[in-house]
Structure 1
Amino acid sequence: MTTEHFDFQGDVLDQSHDIPVLVDFWAAWCAPCRMLAPILERLAEKYSGSWKLVKIDTERFPELAERFGVKGIPDVRLFVNGEVVDSFSGALPEYQIEQWLKKVIPGPYAKEVDLAEKFFFQGKCGMAASLAEGVLQKEPMNSKALALLIRLRLFSHPYEAVNLCRRLEGEAEYVSLCEAALVIARLLMLQKDALPLDPVRDCYADALLKLAGENFDEALEGFIGVIRENRYFDDDSSRKACIAIFRYLGEEHEITRKHRKAFDRALY
């Protein structure tokens, strides 16, 4: 779209509630802008219906460039639901822009996955799972839905969670979650009778039970206790378990913050 009959509020902000809008801040005198323009136009045609391209001449609309802090051009901003969600500057190669678009453009089922995540954090796991499964039936490689379903299935169906992790191989954003899920799944499937005899065996088995019950606080206390007594019991699994729980919960989670220092001290 050119700026001949241009209304920023309507053509960008309002429309971005219906379809993502890619805004290219450019100027006629800018050589990199002239290099980037045909690339964006080709991609806009290729992905017609997924997002819309709007070109803003910074010479004609300097107030818009100033409003969004554009320091150099070309400057490309992606608007979704009236907000800038990502951006890049400079004339990038076409393949790199295409990869960026695949990462940042919301999929057709983004709202369903967002609602499923909301249900998950509200403890409505059945509703969350139903929505995530429905999305995956329509879009089997929806990464966000897969990641959510891993969380939903990990403690009730660890085998299924392992298989879901395989479907996310190569997705850099979810490497940490999958690594944590694979460690936790193994621990959930351990049988006490298979553990070697050792003074820490009962403490370790109790920590496994706490983990299975999603009592992460007491599970971490147990695993850290095992580390202090015999770090290498079950192939160093108590250390691996703590790291997996920290990654699963996130570094800012209150339980992670509570136990992180004790874990570090136990190692050294």
Structure 2
Amino acid sequence: MAYEISDFQKEVIEHSFKLPVLVDFWAEWCGPCRMLAPTLERLAEKHKGKWALAKVNTDVHQHVAEQYSISSIPAVKLFVGGDVVDEFVGALPESQIELWLKKAIPSKNRGQVKAAAQLFEKGKMAEAQKILEPILKEEPDNTEATVVLAQTVLYTNPKKAQEIVRNIEADSEFYQQAESIREFGRLFEIAEDIDTLPNGIGKKDYVAAINSLKKHDFDSALQKFVEVIRNDRYYDDDGARKACIAIFKYLGETHDITMKHRKIFNRALY
């Protein structure tokens, strides 16, 4: 049978270091497996060069099925670099598998995107943009590259940053980062016209927090936003809470400043 493997180590594990390998665990007696097979083969031809399909008969390769804890078939696992990075069970419709593949298959440019992210963290915005812009011309749906590019322009052109992440929705793994960019952009727009803010006891600290944020002084911004939460909890439609969460997502949960302020933030809320 086409795509049927004879040597799992060579045809799946070793090959997955060169190209992602989609493994279909199946058996002759399995009706849903026979339904799924032509769909996967059709997709493999459609996406040839992006990933490879390998079929593993669980009756023939019982040791492999045991190794990967196959208890129900059809079971589909995606191997990259020798490891399973994503999977699903059952005969899903083709449209649903296409959506799954879109999220699961890693970009061939992932190394370059990581390099651009490192340049961004070092403040080398122009260099990061030179890497990211051609990638996004080739892969407009690369949400990781999209978020990093938006971050590189966030402080110089917040409207452009917001526009770049406009189509990143809640089903994306980068949604939280996109939300932080949108929230930063909103705050930076407020800074241009503070008269649009409502009056209230929290206004002074809120404006000061935004100004600290504009200066990349995240420590001071968080301190002031937390003061607003304590003194005027729902000022600007709960804006201080949203701002704190945006900063945490922007910096990352393991960043020193995030870790310093997380507990203080939580106590202020509750």
Alignment TM-score, normalising by the size of structure 1 = 0.87
Matched residue, 1:264: 266
Q: Using the aligned pairs only, state the percent identity.
A: 47
Cα 1:154–1:171 shift into 2, 3 Å: farther
Kept after mapping to 1: 8 A contact 2:194/2:207: no
Aligned residues: 267
**Separation in 1, partners of 2:267, 2:7:** 60
SS in structure 1 at match of 2:130: helix
Secondary structure at 2:166's aligned position in 1?
helix
Question: How far did residue 2 of structure 1 move?
Answer: 3.9
The amino acid across from 1:152 in the alignment is T
Whether the aligned pair in 1 keeps the contact of 2:72 and 2:89 (CA below 8 Å) is: yes
After superposition, the Cα gap between the structure-2 partners of 1:118 and 1:61, relative to the gap in structure 1 and judged at 3 Å, is: farther
Q: Secondary structure at the match of 1:166?
A: coil
Q: Alignment partner for residue 238 of structure 1, among 237, 240, 246?
A: 240
Aligned to 1:67: 67
Q: TM-score, normalised by structure 2?
A: 0.86
| Equivalent in the alignment of 1:163 | 163
Alpha-carbon displacement from aligned partner over 1:178-221 (angstroms, at most 9, x marks no partner):
22212211222313763566665543333222211222222100
Partner in structure 1 of residue 27 of structure 2: 27
Distance change >3 Å, CA 246–CA 8, structure 1 → 2: same
Equivalent residues in 2 for 1:91-170 (5 A)?
A: 91-121=91-121, 124-169=124-169
**Distance (whole Å) between structure 2 residues aligned to residue 59 and residue 229 of structure 1:** 66
Which string of whole-angstrom CA distances, capped at 9 and with x for unpartnered residues, describes residues 221-252 of structure 1?
Answer: 01111232333444543233122222323445
Q: Kindly tell me: are residues 182 and 119 of structure 1, through their superposed partners in 2, closer, same or farther at Cα, counting changes over 3 Å? A: same
Report which stretch shifted further, 234-243 or 9-18. Answer: 234-243
Please tell me the residue identity of whatever aligns with 1:247.
K
Pair 1:213-2:218 in alignment: no
Unaligned runs of 5+ in 2: none
Match of 1:180 in 2: 180
Q: Which is worse superposed, 254-263 or 207-216?
A: 254-263
| Per-residue deviation, 1:23 | 0.8
Amino acid at match of 2:13: L
Instruction: Give the unaligned 5+ runs of structure 1.
Output: none
In structure 1, the residue matched to 2:52 is 52
